[in-house]
């Protein structure tokens, strides 16, 4: 069966030093897996679109298939690709990607040889071969109903949405890349957001976009909505989310579900995946935020993209029910 949901994002080889607990060294990661798992908590029929090289472990792709994902959209380029990603957290859960050698030394851990020569990816740049292209979308994926485009450069995101509009995809959820959330990018946002269903920036990204102009998040949401998207969802980390409905100017505050924080890696991506699943139930943006909120709450309680899929059956539904009582319209 052709997938009804598409998720576009990065696949990485993750090197993670959490604030507590064991390290994850050379494990499957990346926005694509975290977002897809957040969606898979609620629904199936998910097609993955990404790029890797021949050196990407095949068993990781097989694991995706075992989890019920369609990997027909993952393109394996005929060469090696450096998709390593390093992340270390301190006791305050602040993330750092710089100088992995010092982080391993501080924890008295042996530095893995497979991380030698690592350089963080510059998310503000178009990174050539690792960036997706319209031609990466399999023809049978174009009859899907909805798509989530994870954070990547603004040119790629704009092209992917234009490409999907040739098919039957009618719901587009967009998590912006860092280059789209700079003041200089404001003139490019109308082309990016025209026809987008939901725009899901973080609070930090939105404040960066309106640097020096306003501190009012609702003002920012309203300004962004004028570029053509139907809903703006502001991800505020531990504070939860703000939802702005462009059509009727309604506003909601949704607190984060009170989960125990173990590893925040990929929580924003898991939220986006959950949002897509919830929104597509009845095309209700508030439902989308609730579902995404729960997906993120499951993710932060453990490490690894697939952690939310291995929790107790019924836990997600129980959290969803409890969270409904906490919503506040403003």
Residue ranges of the chain with per-residue pLDDT less than 70? 122-128
Residue 262's pLDDT is 95
Cα-Cα-Cα-Cα dihedral of 88, 90, 95, 100, to 10°? -30
**5-329, which class in CATH?**
alpha beta
- What CA–CA distance (Å, rounded) separates 154 from 96? 24
pLDDT, tens digit, for every residue of 40-80? Answer: 999 999 999 999 999 999 999 999 999 999 999 999 999 99
Q: How many other CB atoms are found less than 10 A from the CB of residue 310?
A: 11
Task: Report which of 14, 28, 59, 20 is spatially closest to residue 309, judged by C-alpha positions.
Answer: 28
Residue 120's pLDDT is 86
Token pair, residue 181, equals 């959330």
How deeply is 144 buried, as exposed, middle or buried, from its count of CB atoms within 10 A (0-12, 13-18, 19+)? buried
Residue 124's pLDDT is 53
Residue 130's pLDDT is 76
- What CA–CA distance (Å, rounded) separates 126 from 75? 18
Residue 126's pLDDT is 53
- What CA–CA distance (Å, rounded) separates 134 from 137? 6
Question: Does residue 160 contact residue 8 with C-beta atoms inside 8 Å?
Answer: yes
Task: Report which of 207, 254, 184, 200 is spatially closest to residue 38, judged by C-alpha positions.
Answer: 200
Task: Report which of 183, 227, 176, 229 is spatially closest to residue 202, judged by C-alpha positions.
Answer: 176
Q: Which residues pair with 230 in a beta bridge?
A: none
């Amino acid at each position: 069966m052709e997938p009804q949901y598409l998720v576009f994002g990065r696949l990485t080889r993750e090197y993670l030093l959490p604030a507590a607990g064991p390290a994850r060294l050379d494990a499957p990661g990346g926005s694509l897996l975290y977002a897809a798992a957040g969606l898979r908590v609620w629904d199936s029929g998910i097609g993955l679109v990404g790029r890797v090289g021949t050196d990407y472990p095949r068993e990781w792709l097989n694991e995706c298939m075992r989890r019920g994902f369609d990997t027909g959209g993952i393109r394996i380029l005929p060469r090696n690709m450096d998709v390593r990603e390093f992340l270390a957290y301190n006791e305050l859960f602040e993330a750092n990607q710089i100088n992995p050698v010092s982080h391993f030394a501080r924890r008295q851990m042996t530095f893995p040889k497979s991380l030698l020569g690592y350089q963080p990816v510059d998310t503000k740049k178009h990174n050539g071969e690792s960036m997706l292209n319209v031609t990466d979308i399999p023809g049978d994926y174009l009859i899907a109903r909805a798509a989530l485009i994870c954070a990547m450069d603004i040119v790629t995101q704009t092209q992917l949405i234009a490409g999907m509009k040739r098919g039957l995809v009618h719901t587009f959820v967009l998590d912006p890349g860092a280059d789209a959330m700079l003041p200089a990018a404001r003139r490019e946002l109308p082309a990016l957001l025209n026809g987008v269903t939901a725009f899901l920036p973080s609070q930090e990204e939105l404040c960066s976009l309106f640097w020096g102009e306003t501190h009012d998040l609702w003002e920012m949401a309203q300004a962004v909505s004028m570029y053509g998207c139907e809903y703006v969802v502001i991800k505020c980390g531990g504070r939860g989310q703000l939802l702005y409905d462009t059509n009727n100017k309604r506003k909601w505050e949704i607190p984060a579900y009170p989960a125990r924080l173990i590893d925040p890696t990929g929580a924003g991506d898991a939220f986006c995946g959950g949002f897509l699943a919830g929104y597509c139930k009845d095309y209700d943006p508030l439902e989308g935020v609730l579902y995404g909120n729960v997906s993120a709450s499951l993710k932060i309680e453990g490490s690894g993209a697939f952690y939310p899929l291995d929790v107790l059956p019924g836990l997600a539904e129980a959290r969803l029910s409890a969270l409904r009582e906490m919503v506040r319209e403003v």
